[in-house]
Structure 1
Amino acid sequence: MRPRLGPARDQGPRPTCLAFAASDLHAAIRQGWTPLSCEAVFFRAQRRSGRPASVGTTLSALLEALRLDGQPAETDWPYLAVTPANDAAWLPPASPGHSYMRAGTSASVDWRHLIARLDEGRPVILMMTLSRSFYGPDPDGVVRPSDEEQPDPALRHAILAVGHGSVDGEPAVLIRNSWGGAWGQGGHAWLTASFLGPRLFGMALLDEDDDVSSRSAAA
C-alpha cells in the first residue's frame, strides 16, 4: 500500500512517532493524499492526557484525540521541528482549519491478524521496541539483526505496516517509518517475523468510514 502514501516524513528529535504513524494512516484511508497535521493530533492527545510536549503520547489519548478533536491538513497546522521549550506557550495556530475526525481502536497483537488486515488493504499501526539493526536497514531495505541482538524495552517506537511478503523465505512486513526518506528505501523497510515478533507490543486500526467535521478545531 506504499503508493497510497506520499513521501515519508521526518519526526526529527521529537517523541512524535505515534502521531506520525496515525496521521499517515488517517491520510491514506481518505480520498486522495493530503498530509494531515501530526502537530495537531499530538498536541490534542497531550492536552487530553495532561502530558508535556517533551514525552511521547499514549495510544488511548491519541485515539481519543482523533475521534473527538480530529486533525486539520498539515499546511493549516505545521509541524514544529523542535520540542516547545514552554508548554504553556504551545498553542494551536489562530486559524487551524477544518478538523477531520476518525474513530480507531487498539487490536490484539497477533501475526495472523496483522497479515489479514494487510490483505484487506488496511495499513496497521504497530508499536514495537527497538534494537541496533533497526537504525540501519541494508541496501535492499531489510532490517537484518545479528543472532545475539536483543530488543531494548526502554526504546519504544511506532511505525505503520503497509504490506507483507517474504525475505529469504521468511514472512515479513513492509513498514513505513517516520525518520525521513533517507532511512531504508524511501523511508520504508522490511521486518521479518523473527525480528518483529519479539519486539511487537501493540497494534491499532482506524475505521475506514469518513467522519469529517465541518467545524474548525477549537483552541
Structure 2
Amino acid sequence: MNSDQLLRENAALRERLSREEQQGREYLETLERQRAEFLGTVSQELRAPLTSIKGSAAALLRTPSTLDAAEVQQFLRIIDSQADYILDLIGGLLDAARIDAGVLSVSPEPSDPALLVERAVGAFRDGGGRENVRVELPGDLPLVLADRRRVEQALINLLSNAARHSAESSAIRVRAVAEGVHVAISVADDGVGVAPERLPYLFGRVFRGED
C-alpha cells in the first residue's frame, strides 16, 4: 500500500467517524427533546385532575359545616373520579412501555358504546373539561367487544385534545355510527386541524400539532 492510498483511507476513516459522531449527537438531541416534550405532556395531563382534586378537598376542609350532604357527596365523587383518571394516566404510561416491549395486552368484553361515551364525557367534565360537549348517538347501537378502560381513556384523550385546540365557546361533538359488527366513534371540534404534512407523525408518542 503506497502513501497516497494510505492517506486516502485515513481521510475516509476520519470522515466516517466524524459522520457517525454527528449522527450520535443528533440522536441524543432527539432523545432529549422527546424526553422534555413527554414530561411536558404528562405535566399538562396531570394539572387538570390535580387542580380539581385540590379544589374539592379545599372546599370540604374550608366550609364543612355549610355544605349539605349532596354537596359533600359531589365533591367526594369528583375527588374519586379524578383520582381514577390519574391512575389511568399512569396506566397509560405503563402501557406505552409495554407497547415498546411488544407485550401490551387487552381485555375485550361485551360493551355498550353509548355507556362508554357517557362515562368518558363525564370523566372529562369532572376533570374541568368544558360543558359544551354534544353527544349525538343513534339509539340502536349494537354491543361491541372492547376493552372498556382503554376505550374510555382514548375518548378522554380525544376530548382533552379537542378542548386544547379549539375555542372555549365552541362545541365538541361526539358521534357514533354502526359499521356492520363494529361501531365507529368520532370526536370533532372546530379547531384548525392538523396540517397534511404532519399527518404521518400524528400517532407519535409526543406528537403535538400547531397551537
- Higher helix share goes to which structure? 2
* TM-score clears 0.5: no
Larger relative contact order, structure 1 or 2 (CA cutoff 8 Å, min sep 6): 1
Q: TM-score, normalised by structure 2?
A: 0.22
Q: Greater Rg, structure 1 or structure 2? A: 2
